[in-house]
Amino acid sequence: MFVAALQMVSSASLADNLAQAQGLLQQAADQGAELAVLPEYFCLIGAKDEDKLAIQERFGAGPIQDFIATQAQALGLWIVAGTLPLTPDSPASAGASARVLNSSLAFDSDGACVARYDKMHLFRFDNGREAYDESRVLQAGSQPRQFALPSRDGHLWQVGMSVCYDLRFAELYRGYAASGADLLLVPSAFTHTTGQAHWEVLLRARAIENLSFVAAAAQGGVHPSGRRTWGQSMVVDPWGTVLAQQAQEPGVVLAACDAAQLARCRSQLPALQHRLL
């Protein structure tokens, strides 16, 4: 199965970002991808965190969700919409700070939403020069999510969903592996500082320890807001080999995920069967 990790440099313009995403999705479909993964915040990286509140949608309806559903159906492509801001079922009480869920939605090739994952771990970082705290505007999710994708190669891929900062929490991915996942998705917007230090080694570690393919679609470049993201979108195989990647700027990172290779790796090194804890 060919999987495409789409790298973007999103701005504060929803319309521009959707146009950029549409072009990349078309490229992915033209190149034979069955699954395309958009990055975290593909629809908006504003000048300030609160900007995402203005484009929030209720789950199941809204211009961003409608756009992804239409693209999936038109292109015959499974699409994981990196993340978009969804209104919580229980909004903040009066006087409390407004928050949204940072949600990753999976759409099948008929345009139906088949899975929703709300980002569980919220990023916080402060090195004295740059500071981030997602909890100021985001509400954390509480449940892992995976979905089944029947591919043209005859394999029923079990796909585990995650987002960006989740990558640092190995237990999430171990849980997916224990539930049969063989492809792990990590749409992200890693900062340049943390990405340069940890991005590739963490992605390869998650692939190796879970004997799974990993597809990580990232934001990659300098955004109009001045924010700088690391990029390096990549697809990694179960042995930890980087199959394809792109350093910076928008693009399609395409690689074949081979079910036979997956079975061979798990047979030759049955580490998942040797777990004691």
Mean pLDDT value across residues 166-171: 98
Given this model, what pLDDT does residue 91 score? 64
How confident is the model at residue 277, as a pLDDT?
87
Mean pLDDT for the chain overall:
96
Global pTM value: 0.97
How far apart are the C-alpha atoms of 272 and 152, rounded to whole Å? 26
Which residue do the tokens 């994952």 mark?
117
112-155 confidence digits (pLDDT tens):
999 999 999 999 999 999 899 999 999 999 999 999 999 999 99
Mean pLDDT for 34-47 is 97
- Mean pLDDT of all residues in 205-209: 98
Instruction: Please give the positions annotated as active site.
Output: 40, 119, 164
**Does the pLDDT at position 94 exceed 50?**
no
Q: Which domains are seen in the chain, by residue range?
A: 2-273 (3.60.110.10)
Residue 4: per-residue pLDDT? 99
Average pLDDT, stretch 180-206? 98
Dist CA 43 CA 64 (whole Å): 8
User: Over 70: is that where the pLDDT of 269 sits?
Assistant: yes
Q: Give the percent of the chain with pLDDT over 70.
A: 97
